[in-house]
Chains A and B, each alone.
Chain A
């Protein structure tokens, strides 16, 4: 089991550019989560999916953020246009649901200059 795989590990981009973060969940996991970690706000839930369907996107900061899950093995988080305040570490996690714990990827560190 390779665990949750995120790419890229690091992304540096200029303000105004589009950024796409990618995630491959653990096979068989029905739930997929996108979190953002900052010093000020800690780990914030942005959006989560169940069986590829977005269930709760109330944590998505604004319309510049969008997430998709076209199939059970792939999800993207897109920021367009990016801003310096989007700089953070973005984590993807998956789980079986119920009381099973979340399994996190190693994150993507995004820097917007």
Chain B
């Protein structure tokens, strides 16, 4: 039973537009959420995080939104750039960190 779900396996976005990646979770005990980015043949790298006591965290072009009542978080990338093409993993923590299956983002020229 997946506790962290990324329902879109892939997403294509035009360069310069906004990319929105979504994530749902089922465990209300999660207190910290993270997004990781992964290029082929490399390990995932940390991108941005948010505590459960907040609803928004911004870092440059990346913003994460958390809706606790809906058990939903999203990652916004604006403007999208070619180097953003990668697999994005949503992750959540109670006593350990659980990852979703990932969403492959393609930035189109």
Contact = CB atoms under 8 A, between A and B. Distances in A.
B98 A45 contact: yes
A79 interface: no
Interface residues of A, number: 20
Majority DSSP secondary structure for residues of B touching A: strand
B43 A42 contact: no
Majority DSSP secondary structure for residues of A touching B: strand
Most chain B CB within a 10 A radius of its CB, from A35, A93, A104: A104
Interface in A92-113: 93, 99, 101-107
B46 A101 contact: yes
A42 B99 contact: yes
A44 B101 CA distance: 9
Contact of B96 (A4, A48, A99, A101): A48
B45 interface: yes
A104 B96 contact: no
A102 B49 contact: no
A102 B96 CA distance: 11
Interface of B: 32, 34, 36, 41-46, 49, 51, 89, 95-102
